[in-house]
C-alpha cells in the first residue's frame, strides 16, 4: 500500500504561485500550506492543489505538484455566479482530484460544504486547519454572507480531522462546534546565521483593513529618527476595498520620509528584510498564529504586537504585548 494522496484546496494559492505581478500576494496561511506541500513531496507523498483558474503560462514552471484550476473570481454575473461558474467548476475540479485520499483546507469558506459532500460521496477524508481565531467563532466568522456562513458551518461540523494553532482556537472549536482540534504549531525552514546590520523596524502582512497598516505609517511618523520598512503588496485583482486601502497607505507613506513601502515581496526577499530588522511590528487586531512571528523570532528579532497567541511573548521575552498605538509608540523609545 502506497502513501496517501493529498489534495490541498487553497484558492488563494494562485496569488502566491502566479507570475502576474499585479495578482501576486501572500498570506501566512498560503505560505504554510506551500511549505507543507513541498515537504510532503520531498517525503514521497503524492500532492496536488485545487486553486483559482489561471491562463496557460501564467503559473511558475518549477512546481513539484500539479495544479487543478477551478473558477475565476471575475467570471459570471452577480448572484448567478455562485452556481455558474463557481460551484460548477469547483465540482469539476474535485472530480479531477478524485484519486486523492485526503483533502486539506485552511480557509473559512462556503467551499468547505461541497468539499465535504464530495469527500463523503467518494469515501475520502477532509482535514480542516484553522487560519485565524474567528474561524471557530460563529458570531464573528470571516465569511461574508448568511448563505456562505451556513454552508461553512455545515461543512466544518462534518470534517474528519481538525488542526488548530493554539489553545484558544482549540477551546473555541470544542465550545462552538463540539469538535476536537489538535494543536500543531506553524514551522519554517531554518534561517541562516544573521550577518546583516539591524537597520530598520519592519511590518510585513497582507494589505487588509484588519491588519491596520495605517497604524504602522503613523508609528513611523512619530519616530522620525528610526527607519521603517512596510512590506505588503497590491491586493489580488478584483478586491476593490483592499486596492483602495493600498492606495491610501501608499499616499500616506509618501508623506513620511523615514518610511519605505516595499510592496509585495516573495518569501525569500521578505526573509532578507527580516534579517535586517531590529524590531518587528504587528498592528493587526485579529490573528491566528502569525508566520511572521516565527520569521522574526528565528532571527532573534523581538515582536511588538496587539495579539499574543498562547501568551507566548512576554513570559518568554520574545517582545512586548501592547494595548494601543500609544503603548506601541512608547515601547519603541
Domain stop point among 183, 211, 240 = 183
Looking at residue 333, its pLDDT comes to: 81
Provide the residue range defining the domain that includes 287.
Answer: 200-331
Identify whether residues 286 and 148 lie together within a single domain: no
Looking at residue 25, its pLDDT comes to: 58
Number of domains in the chain: 2
For the stretch 108-125, pLDDT in tens is 999 999 999 999 999 999
Looking at residue 240, its pLDDT comes to: 75
Secondary structure (DSSP) of 164-223: ESSHHHHHHHHHHH----EE-----PPPPPP-S---EEEEE----GGG-HHHHHHHHHH-
Report whether pLDDT(193) > 80: no
The CATH number linked to 134 is 3.40.50.2000
For the stretch 25-74, pLDDT in tens is 567 788 889 999 999 999 999 999 999 887 767 776 678 899 999 998 88
For the stretch 222-234, pLDDT in tens is 999 999 999 987 6
Report whether pLDDT(191) > 80: no
Identify whether residues 303 and 278 lie together within a single domain: yes
Does the pTM surpass 0.95? The reply is no
Q: Average the pLDDT over 20-28 and give the result.
A: 59
Cα separation of 150 and 152, whole Å?
5
User: Is position 189 within any domain?
Assistant: no
For the stretch 241-254, pLDDT in tens is 778 888 899 999 99
* pLDDT band of 236, cuts 50, 70, 90: low
Per cent of the chain over pLDDT 90 is 65
Amino acid at each position: 500500500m502506497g502513501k496517501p494522496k493529498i489534495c490541498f484546496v487553497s484558492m488563494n494559492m494562485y496569488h502566491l504561485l502566479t507570475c502576474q505581478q499585479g495578482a501576486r500576494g501572500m498570506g501566512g496561511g498560503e505560505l504554510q500550506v506551500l511549505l507543507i506541500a513541498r515537504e510532503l513531496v520531498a517525503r514521497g507523498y503524492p500532492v496536488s492543489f485545487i486553486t483559482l483558474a489561471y491562463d496557460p503560462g501564467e503559473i511558475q514552471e518549477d512546481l513539484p505538484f500539479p495544479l487543478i484550476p477551478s473558477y475565476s473570481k471575475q467570471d459570471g454575473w452577480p448572484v448567478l455566479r455562485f452556481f455558474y461558474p463557481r460551484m460548477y467548476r469547483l465540482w469539476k475540479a474535485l472530480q479531477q482530484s478524485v484519486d486523492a485520499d485526503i483533502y486539506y483546507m485552511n480557509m473559512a469558506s462556503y467551499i468547505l460544504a461541497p468539499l465535504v459532500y464530495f469527500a463523503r460521496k467518494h469515501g475520502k477524508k477532509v482535514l480542516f486547519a484553522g487560519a485565524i481565531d474567528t474561524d471557530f467563532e460563529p458570531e464573528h466568522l470571516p465569511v461574508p454572507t448568511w448563505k456562505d456562513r451556513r454552508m461553512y458551518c455545515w461543512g466544518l461540523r462534518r470534517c474528519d480531522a481538525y488542526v488548530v494553532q493554539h489553545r484558544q482556537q482549540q477551546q473555541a472549536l470544542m465550545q462552538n462546534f463540539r469538535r476536537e482540534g489538535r494543536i500543531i504549531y506553524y514551522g519554517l525552514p531554518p534561517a541562516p546565521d544573521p550577518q546583516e546590520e539591524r537597520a530598520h523596524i519592519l511590518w510585513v502582512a497582507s494589505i487588509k483593513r484588519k491588519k491596520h497598516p495605517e497604524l504602522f505609517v503613523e508609528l513611523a511618523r512619530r519616530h522620525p529618527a528610526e527607519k521603517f520598512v512596510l512590506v505588503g503588496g497590491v491586493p489580488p485583482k478584483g478586491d476593490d476595498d483592499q486596492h483602495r486601502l493600498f492606495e491610501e497607505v501608499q499616499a500616506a507613506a509618501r508623506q513620511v520620509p523615514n518610511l519605505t513601502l516595499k510592496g509585495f515581496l516573495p518569501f525569500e526577499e521578505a526573509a532578507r528584510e527580516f534579517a535586517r530588522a531590529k524590531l518587528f511590528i504587528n498592528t493587526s487586531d485579529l490573528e491566528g498564529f502569525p508566520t511572521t512571528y516565527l520569521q522574526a523570532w528565528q532571527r532573534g528579532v523581538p515582536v511588538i504586537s496587539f495579539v499574543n497567541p498562547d501568551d507566548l511573548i512576554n513570559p518568554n521575552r520574545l517582545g512586548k504585548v501592547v494595548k494601543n498605538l500609544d503603548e506601541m509608540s512608547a515601547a519603541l523609545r
